[in-house]
Structure 1
Amino acid sequence: MEEQLSVLFVMVEVGGILAPIIFILFHTLRQFLFIPPILVCIAGGVLFGVTLGTIYSVIGLTINCLLFYAVIHRLPKTHRKLSTLKKRWFGEYRNLTLGQITVLRLIPVFHYHLLNFCLLEKRKSLREFGKSSFISNIPLAFFYTIFGQFISQFSMTMVVIIMFALAVLVYILREKITVIKWREFFKEAPE
């Protein structure tokens, strides 16, 4: 993974005026290289500074989400896997709110595209999904661009406190009402 990030640094240094475009494209390619979005956001802060790094990361992450929207409907096997994973992690009838998805994006252990899938189930149209993904990516890019250098210096107790605070925030932002259709509630159990 360090080799891939060092390739990004070299490409940006050589790219000159094309460096922001290369960085944004790297955000869309990072999923195929199995690089977490957090590391790319941290690299954006190092390469471009806080303001431009955050802006470029938000643009790259939003383009990544829009590509997910375009591709997920064409991959039924991946769609089923994400649906199964969502049911296992969050429950069959639980829908995450935009606030919960935004906070969960800040926690590194959550699958980025699983959260995109949860957002897609809530916001079906491209316009709503694009707007919601843009909004939910802003804290991720901002937090990890600014605090990326300091996070590695946190003690384990500080990390536990931050994760606990984020978990409480996810609970507070939960959807208060769950609607289960009559047929789904009384469906027969498979034998």
Structure 2
Amino acid sequence: MDETMTVLFVFIESTGILAPIVFICLHLIRPFLFVPVPVVCIVGGILFGSVFGTLYSLLGLTILSVIFYVLYKRVPKLSSKINQLKQKWLGNKVNFTMGQISILRLIPFINFHLLSLCIIDVTRNFRQYTKGSFYTNIPVALFYTVFGQFIREFSTMMIIVILLSLTLLFYLLREKQVIIKWHEFFKPKAGRSYY
């Protein structure tokens, strides 16, 4: 991870006045380079400081979310692949709230685009999706940009405490009701007949 950050740091720093544009573009190509979101945000904090690093990361992540939405709606093969991934990892009865999605975005090993699909599921149109993406990207951009340099120095116990705190927040921000459709509730069990 340190090598990846060093390479990104040197590359962006060498671009001079175009560094913010290159940094935002780095967020857009990040999925193809298999670089985690936190790494890019940490580099943004080091290069641009807390305020501008957070703003550039937020802008880059929101543009990436919008591109994902457009591709998801326009490319059926991608849509089916992402839906299969969601079915495999989350099942079909999971509806996260925006607060839960914000918490999950803070956890580095959870797929960013899978959470974008969860936002698509809870919003009605492009405008709501963009607004939801923007708000759920704020915590990840802010947290990893501002506190990124300190996270590397945390002990294992401190990281476990942070993850447990995020798990507790995730539970507290859950949706308080579950809606089961009539035909799913009364679905007959395999091998059993009521006639």
Q: TM-score under structure 2 normalisation?
A: 0.88
Q: Map 1:91-170; keep pairs closer than 5 Å.
A: 91-170=91-170
Distance 1:183 1:38 in 2: 43
Contact 2:71 2:78 in 1 (8 A): no
Output one character per residue of 1:102-151: Cα deviation in whole Å (capped at 9) or x when no partner.
Answer: 00111112111111111111113111010110000111011001111111
- Cα drift, residue 42 of structure 1: 0.3
Contact 1:11 1:22 in 2 (8 A): no
Question: How many corresponding residue pairs?
Answer: 191
- Cα drift, residue 51 of structure 1: 0.5
Q: SS of the counterpart of 2:8?
A: helix
Distance 1:165 1:136 in 2: 18
- AA in 2 matched with 1:143: F
**In structure 2, what is the equivalent of residue 89 of structure 1?**
89
Q: SS of the counterpart of 1:73?
A: helix
- Cα drift, residue 72 of structure 1: 1.3
Distance 2:98 2:120 in 1: 11
- Cα drift, residue 93 of structure 1: 1.3
**In structure 2, what is the equivalent of residue 178 of structure 1?**
178
Provide the alpha-carbon RMSD of the alignment: 2.1
- Cα drift, residue 75 of structure 1: 3.5
1:61 aligns with 2:61: yes
Change in 2 beyond 3 A, CA 1:2/1:29: farther
Output one character per residue of 1:53-111: Cα deviation in whole Å (capped at 9) or x when no partner.
Answer: 00000000000100100111233343334333333433421200000000011111211
Change in 2 beyond 3 A, CA 1:84/1:190: farther
Structure 1 gap segments, 5+ residues each: none
* Overall identity of the aligned pairs, in %: 50
Distance 2:187 2:63 in 1: 39
- AA in 1 matched with 2:159: V
Larger Rg: 2
Q: SS of the counterpart of 2:14?
A: helix
Distance 1:5 1:157 in 2: 24
Contact 1:94 1:178 in 2 (8 A): no
Distance 1:4 1:162 in 2: 24
